[in-house]
Amino acid sequence: MLTVVLGALPFTVVTLLVFKHWPPLARWDQSVAAKSGAYGATHEGVVDFWQVVGVVAQPWTTRAVILVVAAYLWHRRARLLTIWLLTSAAAELALVQAVKAIFERDRPVHMLVETTGFSYVSGHATAAFVLAGALGVVLPSVRGWRRRFRLLVLLPVVIVVWIASADRIVLNVHYVSDVLGGWALGLAILTATSIGFGLRPGLRRRRRRTPSDGEGTTAPPRAAVIVNPIKVGDGVAFRRKVTRALAVRGYEEPLWLETRVDDAGQAMAKQAIEHDSDLVLVAGGDGTVRVVCATLAHTGIPVGVIPAGTGNLLARNLHIPLDLDDALERILEGRDRRIDLVRVQGDDLDTDRFAVMAGLGLDAAIMSDAPPHLKKQIGWTAYLVSAAKNVNHPSVRVTITLDDAEPIERRVRTVVVGNVGMLQANIPLLPDARPDDGLLDVVVIAPRRVTQWPIVLWRLMTRTNRSDMYLERFTGHKVEIHAAVDVQRQLDGDPIGPGRYLTTEIEPGALTARVPKRR
């Protein structure tokens, strides 16, 4: 509440100074208005130019921009941010009209263009300020954009504010104080709606200060730990070890969240967001990691993967050690890295995301047939048992479309789309894949007979880039795969049932991952 009051204070002060006719502000208003009127009377070309600017920068234009951004956020499932943005725009529209009706301030006498309505506050200035604040300050901050990207967004919207505001003064349709009041009202609106929706810029960048900082201490950072209890052996020892490692580094008592049979981590990740977590640690299988990462996409909250499953593919590809103590140290002392996620759709599959790989055909059959008791006893080598069982998995005819290119048809054993390239035992299935290159890597494996598998394996292990009838590689931003018949499918090692198609599309920089520092 105090923050809201402080946010509204500038508007209150400006309004009191205007309507108490504070002499310095009144003289400034009259002086600027007189100069603008006199200059515009002898420079018709300048007036014509600023009239065009006024039409382009009118409030309905800025509100339309906000609607476009809101539609984009809704499409990206950022529902809270969408509603907040629309609420801010609606509040701006309503409050500007209310303030004008309450105070009924006349416009300057010598206006250079015809316009109606009251003068205080400037609707152009208020709408432009709300646009700048929403798109240039609050939105990049709460979504965790990098500093240089924030500046690239902030600078243009600041320029828009200045142009939209200067236009009102140059055309002499508003006093300077009308523009200042508009800015102050915009600040009050953004402060109230941001606090009301729980958006707190900079919260996730809090750190515990040491006395050498010279500024005392701030609130310690918060961590949430999402655990799949089935995958973590000694849960009590695990909890004690993680809690101690966080406490040593100045974190509050962590929020502990356990996955359930009916929820692999989505509700838990949402609780971590509501908890205003500065870091989310996830310990579980590849399925738990995938669900948590998908839910935390575009939030800017760093995710640290603690290897605890059979495959641990994301951890392996981010160079996180498989030993618990080593992994905790490397993650908590690590750095934040923006990596890509992949949006995926398919028949009988809700729109989802994955971080590692999606496959259709043999690889999915191997994941489906790996005996759970063997995975628990011997780890990822259980997949070798399943691979031996499925070595003669039937081929299937597929159509693959990369971006806007012409579809290609192949008869394959398996097709894998990956965001990273390394499998267990350091097998480089997609050797050129990088988690932050903004590209999808595709491998098509199509040996005709069992005796041709050694050729494929040799080419995989030697990272041969030559394409032939047995193995082909492609890259793209969007990949669509259609099979002629139902085949097994998987996302990050989790079987998702048979189907005929998968559509995947890269989401560059969607996830902030906590990874070991470079050595």
Is 60 exceeded by the pLDDT of residue 48? yes
Low-confidence winner among 20-24, 182-186, 310-314, 343-347 (lowest mean pLDDT): 310-314
Q: What single-letter amino acid sits at 465?
A: N
Distance CA 242, CA 248 (A): 10
Which residues, 6+ apart, have CB-to-CB distance to 361 below 8 Å? 393, 396, 398, 412, 413, 414, 415, 483, 487, 488
Q: What is the pLDDT of residues 344-380, one digit of tens each?
A: 999 988 899 999 999 998 888 887 776 666 556 555 5
Q: Of 96-105, 150-159, 309-318, 486-495, where does mean pLDDT reach its minimum?
A: 150-159
Here the tokens at position 25 are 């502000």
Mean pLDDT of 149-166: 81
Over residues 159-185, the mean pLDDT reads 91
pLDDT per residue as tens digits for the range 16-39: 999 999 999 999 999 999 999 888
**Which domains occur in the chain, in start order?**
2-203 (1.20.144), 218-340 (3.40.50.10330), 349-505 (2.60.200.40)
pLDDT confidence tier of residue 215, bands split at 50, 70 and 90: very low
**In the prediction, which pLDDT does 440 show?**
95
Mean pLDDT of the region 147-158: 72
The model's pLDDT over 412-470, given as tens digits with 9 standing for 90+, comes to 989 999 999 888 667 788 888 999 999 999 999 888 877 777 877 787 777 666 667 78
What residues are paired with 507 via a beta bridge?
Answer: 341
Q: Strand 279-284 vs strand 303-307: parallel, antiparallel, or unpaired? A: parallel
Residue position matching structure tokens 């007036």? 47
**What value does the mean pLDDT take over residues 96-119?**
91
Kindly list the distances between the CA atom of residue 302 and the CA atoms of 185, 223, 338, 469, in Å, as whole numbers in the listed order. Answer: 34, 10, 9, 42
More confident residue, 213 or 117: 117
User: From CA 486, how far away is CA 489, in angstroms rounded?
Assistant: 9
Q: Are 321 and 419 in contact (CB under 8 A)?
A: no
pLDDT surpasses 50 at 212: no
- Residue 205: per-residue pLDDT: 39
Range scoring the smallest mean pLDDT among 24-38, 57-71, 110-124, 333-347: 57-71
Mean pLDDT score of the chain: 84
Task: Establish how many alpha carbons lie within 13 A of residue 92's alpha carbon, considering only the half-sphere containing its beta carbon.
Answer: 32
**Cα separation, 22 vs 13, whole angstroms:** 11
How confident is the model at residue 322, as a pLDDT?
A: 83
* pLDDT above 90 as % of the chain: 45
Q: How many Cβ atoms from other residues are within 10 Å of residue 453's Cβ?
A: 16
Average pLDDT on 481-497 reads 90
Q: Which residue has the tokens 């200042």?
A: 180
**Which pLDDT does position 282 carry in this prediction?**
96
Instruction: Say what the pLDDT of residue 5 is.
Output: 67
- The H or E element that residue 41 is part of is helix 23-41
pLDDT tens figures, 127-142: 989 888 887 766 665 4
